[in-house]
Amino acid sequence: MPEFPYSRLRRWPDVEADNLQAYDATDVLLVERALALGFPGEEIAVIGDEYGAITLALTDAGLRGIRVHQDLATGRRALARNAAEQGLGGSVSGYPDEDAEPRGVGGGHAAAGPDRLGSPTPFVAHELDGDLLTGARLVLLQLPKSLAELEEIADAVARWAAPDAVLVAGGRVKHMTLGQNEVLGRSFGRVQAERAERKSRLVVASEPLPAPTEPPFPVTAEHDGLTLVAHGGAFAGSRLDIGTRVLLEVLGVAPEALRQAQGPRGGWVAEPVEAAGDGGWVAELVEASRTVIDLGCGTGALAASWALAHPDARVIATDRSAAAAASARATAAANGLAGRITVTHDDAGSELADASADVVLLNPPFHLGTSVHTGAATRLFEAAARLLRPGGELFTVFNSSLGYRAELTRIVGATEQLHRTSKFTVTRSIRR
């Protein structure tokens, strides 16, 4: 059998650059181990397959019925595109939305049309749930960055997979920690790290332990009147991260600045924030009754705070992480906002209409996976420019060392600094 052409895989629609690949040695090691173990495809689940390298290499080797979960919308679309270009299952546009008609098997989304070897369903996409894992005897995992995300995944495998299931997890040695072994040990009776190979390492977890009655995630935390709910893969968990808090304070909608309103609509309103000169605190920067998008929403802290402060606003929260989108939905519900905040799982708001927003709120990441790369923020700046109507406002918080002001001006429009500390800068950009 010819070797699978890993080098032909692409990251698209994620950021592409010479130093960013669509696969690594860990993918190859996981594929080699799966083929050596000889499980049929129907008994294999793949989690964290960033751009489809594991799933497609196994499919190319003749396995069918593989179940796959990817957290990121970009990864789901890359898998679809790579599958189509390799002739391994046609197009998979993504997983079904929460309210969409279920497709594929068990609520998942099967590959559309036969692959080049004639199989109608070479792999089936699922969320992180029982449909993904029930009956699975081999689970392949690209280790996530977050220990919380790993804990949620390990619990799910022990909870739903077969009693004799084996979890083979892998990662680049430089990013692996003993803490990962400890987390796996909470859900498995045996955890064995193997020798490093090609700068990657596999960890084999077996003998699943009885799962607790209640899963460890999502978790909930209170923040001065704002409730945050978080799944393991959501950035900052149930904490209110510092950058978000700074942006909320500048906008006058931080949790501690809110007081409950007793008007006919209920909800919350903002206490006034003292205005100052350039670079100081500002108040009432934007009108309340407008369409506001929390772009890259995480747990939905910005969206929920804005909706609580402005009962008449139309608020949309969107994130490319399924864990984040699920967390934002739960945050909205926990704050009595389920009917007022629309949450979408999407790549940089690509399914939202052009020029549909009056305001965009943004706390952009500066990592792509484990790589520090400004491309992630640039894509969101470009998305904000597309989503905003002319004259619309983008409020951004970022690490002061990154100096994004010139780029925001170039991509979006005239940008002013509203607040700056040694750690964070808040800017306001007007869509040209």
Does 283 lie in the same domain as 372? yes
Q: What would the two tokens of residue 205 be? A: 């977890």
Choose one of 208, 233, 251: the last residue of a domain: 208
Half-sphere exposure of 54 (CA within 13 A, CB side): 32
Q: Are residues 198 and 233 in the same domain?
A: no
Same domain? 84 vs 122: yes
Q: Is residue 247 part of a domain?
A: yes
Name residues whose C-beta falls within 8 Å of residue 288's C-beta, 6 or more positions apart in sequence: 309, 310, 311, 312, 313
Same domain (yes/no): 224, 191: no
| Mean pLDDT within 149-165 | 98
Per-residue confidence (pLDDT) for residue 146, from 0 to 100? 95
Supply the pLDDT for residue 94.
42
Reported confidence tier of residue 365, pLDDT bands at 50, 70, 90: confident
pLDDT value, residue 276: 39
Query: Is residue 132 helix, strand or coil?
Result: helix
Q: Name the helix (H) or strand (E) containing 141.
A: strand 138-142
- When the pLDDT of each residue in the chain is averaged and rounded to a whole number, the result is 87
Q: What is the CATH number of the domain that holds 24?
A: 3.40.50.150
Residues 169 and 61 reside in one and the same domain: yes
Is residue 302, in this structure, part of any structural domain at all? yes
Do residues 198 and 261 share a domain?
A: no
The Cα–Cα gap between 65 and 401 comes to: 47
Instruction: Choose one of 161, 176, 208: the last residue of a domain.
Output: 208
- Check pLDDT > 70 for residue 337: yes
Number of separate domains in the chain: 2
Position 256 in a domain: yes
Does residue 202 sit in the same domain as residue 223? no
- Return the pLDDT at 97: 44
Give the span between the Cα atoms of 78 and 73, in whole angstroms. Answer: 9
pLDDT tens for 372-422 read 446 789 999 999 999 999 999 999 999 999 989 999 999 999 999 999 999
Which pLDDT score is estimated for 240? 95
- Residues 197 and 127 grouped into a single domain: yes
pTM summary value: 0.88
Is the domain of 231 the same as that of 355?
A: yes
Per-residue model confidence (pLDDT) at position 270: 34
CA 311, 313, 315 angle in degrees (round to 5)?
110
In a domain, 198, yes or no: yes
Q: Is the pLDDT of residue 284 over 60?
A: no
- Identify which has the larger pLDDT, 373 or 193: 193
Residue 1 is assigned to a structural domain of this protein = no
Range of the domain at 371: 219-430
Q: Is the same domain home to 204 and 223?
A: no
